[in-house]
A and B are shown apart, each in its own frame.
Chain A
Amino acid sequence: MVRRIPSWVQGWLWTSPWWAGFLLFLLVPMGWSLYISFCDYPMLQPPVWIGFENYERMFREPAFYTVLRNTMLYAAIAIPAGTVTAVGLAVLLNQKVRGQAIFRTCIFLPTVVPLVATAVVWYMMLNPEIGLVNRSLRSVGIAGPLWWDRACWTMAALVLVSVWSIGSAVVIYLAGLQEIPQSLYEAAWIDGASRWRQFLHVTLPGLSPVILFNVIIGIIGTWQIFALPYVILRMGTGPDQIAYFYTTYLFESAFRDLKMGYASALAWVQLLIILVLTGLVFWVGKKRVYYRGG
């Protein structure tokens, strides 16, 4: 019999790819990031300790409030719009009718389209002059909006595009719907509940844990929005524009202005905001979510 290696050595060996990567590409960078968030670090010279100056500067900078407002506004619209659409689509795709596979494919397909491609296609679709949307509106006598020139329409357009790529949330809701026992619907039907009441009192409570999960994923996702507005508005974003988001600001502070210390401070505040928001949603949600058998 071979001499046995102690189990903890075995365990650490097996999981070594993960913890080595965790140390190298997460823990060390995050530690370094925390350190330089207290430094003035313009990349070319070594970092100089300046205490809380970066954090204090953030709150003096008007651009910080702009990106905070824009990002919160986007999250506040895109998450509810996405949730309602995804639940609605999942219910629709869960109906027992022929040809459902084709409908499902159509709705999931946009999800696999790369974000840059999505951005360019929608930039064209919503072009005020030659875009399909405005030209179709024009042919029925409606003057379409200047999508990318007006703040509120740009915001609406970004939400529209995010809803278009909602497919993976729909898949998760669809799987959630199939876990709800049919007997509950039968019982509700016998009690004379209408379809709408069945939706309110059986479907929604049954889906609530999945909704909570998706809202949390949504918060993390919307706070990171970057590529879509960055590509659509062709980098030429300014602090006065509605599509100037938190991550865009962080990106430009780091890679255009080369203020690595300031950008790191922004990153830590972003992480803190996301943690607080998800924690809050989780805490509020836990009381309202219905767990079967729990």
Chain B
Amino acid sequence: MVGIGSRRTIGTAMTYALLVGVSMLFITPLVWMVSTSMKPTTELYADPPRFWPMQPQIDAYGAVMRSESFDFPLYARNTLVIALLSLAGVLVSSSIAAYGFARVPFRGRGLMFGVCLATMMIPFPVIMVPTYMLFKYVGWIGTFRPLWVPAWFGTAFNIFLLRQFYLGIPRVLEESAMLDGCSRWGCFLRIALPLSVPALAVVSLFHVLTVWNDLVGPLIFLSHQDQFTLALGLHFLHSRAGDTPWNQMMAAVTLIVIPVVVLFLMAQKTFIRGITTTGLKG
């Protein structure tokens, strides 16, 4: 017979074994990516595979950046320019619209907010073709504008996230300020906005990740290689990878992955909070 105590110990041991096993499975591709990027060519095809190179080196990073197919500094700069221009727009426009939905009562507000939520369900492929034609019509194809101008009109996801946050701010704060003669705009600027910094952090984090991740937008709207973003540049490198050795390929991938991984590790709590507020209360 097994006592309660030892049965619990076995249970905990099994839980640990599962947790360690699953975590290793999830993390292995990323470790393998970094390890491959640091292998000298001679070690790439070693059998059995070595998990960590015997002589780690960073030559592949220099080689892939010198190659004409992958101009990392330029692609990084392009990605950052698009990310910052659109982030500024998202923060300004989404917070204003969200405050309107949260605090300014008017006829049809509920319906309008409902429509706003419903637009989140519309898949991008559905509007891909007409959006392309719209930007072609105004002559923006081959510029960064299609990738950041729409962000200045607020995005449903961020409006929803910020509205939820504003609804959580006690009304008393704004009511007493308004009694003292503060305008609605003043309340927004001096009370709601400073209090919503944590929510704005969530919005910023998600937005930067989205821009970093986006392939379809740059693929459709950009036309010259010197405008490429990191995601598009990597796709381009991979699509003609016949002559790129695996260690250089993985060096390119690592360069793109490291910044988001660092960002995630620094802001893990913000990240998790964002997913749960939009996922559970939605």
Contact = CB atoms under 8 A, between A and B. Distances in A.
A and B form one complex: yes
Interface of A: 7-8, 10-22, 24-26, 28-30, 32-33, 36, 89, 92-93, 95, 97, 100, 102-103, 105-110, 112-117, 119-125, 130, 132, 135-136, 138-139, 164, 168, 171-172, 175-176, 179, 210, 213, 220, 223-224, 226-227, 230-231, 234-235, 246-247, 250-251, 254-255, 260, 263-264, 267-268, 270-271, 274, 278
Contact of B99 (A14, A29, A171): A14
Interface residues of B, number: 94
Interface in B249-276: 249-250, 253, 256-257, 260-261, 263-265, 268, 271-272, 275-276
B215 A18 contact: no
Contact of A130 (B45, B101, B104, B150): B45
Contacts of A213: 279, 282
27 contacts: A8-B107, A11-B100, A11-B109, A14-B99, A16-B97, A29-B131, A30-B126, A33-B127, A36-B130, A97-B16, A112-B264, A113-B30, A113-B261, A120-B234, A120-B249, A130-B44, A130-B246, A132-B29, A171-B279, A220-B123, A234-B239, A235-B239, A251-B128, A267-B129, A270-B123, A271-B126, A274-B123
A175 B280 contact: yes
B276 A171 contact: yes
A271 B123 CA distance: 7
B22 A92 contact: yes
Given A114-B260, A172-B279, A32 B133 contact: yes
Contacts of A264: 129-130
B93 interface: yes
Nearest to B11: A195
Nearest to B33: A121
Interface string B6-36: 0000001001101110111011111011001
Contact of A124 (B47, B130, B131, B246): B246
Given A106-B26, A113-B260, A255-B220, A15 B97 contact: yes
A106 B150 CA distance: 34
Contact of B23 (A107, A136, A220): A107
B154 A21 contact: yes
Contacts of A135: 47-49
Contacts of A210: 279-280
A168 B213 CA distance: 15
A152 to B, nearest CB: 22
| Max chain A C-beta neighbours (<10 A), residue from B12, B246, B253, B268 | B253
Main DSSP-derived SS at the A contact region: helix
Query: Interface on chain B toward A: helix, strand, loop, or mixed SS?
Result: helix
A138 B209 CA distance: 37
Interface stretch (B54-62, B80-88, B112-120, B170-178): B112-120
Nearest to B130: A29
Given A20-B153, A28-B134, A267-B126, A113 B257 contact: yes
Given A17-B153, A92-B15, A172-B276, A164 B29 contact: yes
Contact of B26 (A15, A109, A171, A226): A109
Contact of A25 (B94, B129, B150, B256): B150
A17 B154 contact: yes
Contacts of A26: 119, 122, 127
B98 to A, nearest CB: 9
A245 to B, nearest CB: 10
Contact of A103 (B19, B107, B109): B19
B22 A107 contact: yes
B152 interface: yes
Contact of B231 (A116, A121, A130): A116
B264 A109 contact: yes
Q: 3 closest Cβ contacts across the A-B interface?
A: A21-B153, A14-B100, A11-B106
Contacts of B15: 92, 95, 97
A18 B153 contact: yes
A122 B153 contact: no
A32 B130 contact: yes
B128 A121 contact: no
A233 to B, nearest CB: 10
Contacts of B12: 97
Q: Please indicate which of the listed interface residues A20, A116, A267 has the most CB atoms of chain B within 10 Å of its own CB.
A: A116
